[in-house]
Amino acid sequence: MIQAEDAAYIAGLFDGEGSVTYKQYTENKFNRSRGKRYKTKVWRIALEISMTDKSVLTWVHETLGCGTLRPKPRKEHKMQYRYRCVFRDAYYVCRVLWPFAHVKLDKITKVIEHYSTIAQDNVVDLKEYKELKEIRRK
């Protein structure tokens, strides 16, 4: 588990430099078997931090143990890096940050409530999910 001091620091980074996306979009899909297009509503849930200091984001990525860290090249500007986690990883991070967040607390709470209201028999245990993810990396 993450130490409280580390979680508080990361929560401060998200409050100042990060963004929380919790939004429902309409998406066009195509059913190949029927040969028809249709529209469906999908949720986009993501947490991101973008900054030019790669070492800080590397530490965040290693401390949280989930998400991705990628370069975000920008013309005529200093190289920027982006830490991003989506869906279940975002849920895990929101649960870690919730006690310490201030500015983004409203959206973090919505993400937690979104996953808490899903029927429990359809939800993978977070600990099992992390263990399976580690096995697949090896």
Write the pLDDT tens digit of every residue in 122-137: 555 667 767 777 776 6
Q: What is the pLDDT of residue 36?
A: 84
Which contiguous run of DSSP H or E holds residue 8? helix 4-17
Confidence of residue 48 (pLDDT cuts 50, 70, 90): very high
Mean of the per-residue pLDDT values of the chain: 88
CATH topology of domain 4-137: Endonuclease I-creI (3.10.28)
State the distance between the two ends of the chain, measured CA to CA, in whole angstroms. Answer: 21
Task: Please give the average per-residue pLDDT across 42-46, as a whole number.
Answer: 92
Mean pLDDT of 39-57: 93
Percentage of the chain lying above the pLDDT 70 cut: 90
pLDDT for 1 equals 74
CB 51 within 8 A of CB 80: yes
Contact residues for 76 (Cβ-Cβ < 8 A; gap 6+): none
Is residue 49 within 8 Å of 58, Cβ to Cβ? Answer: no
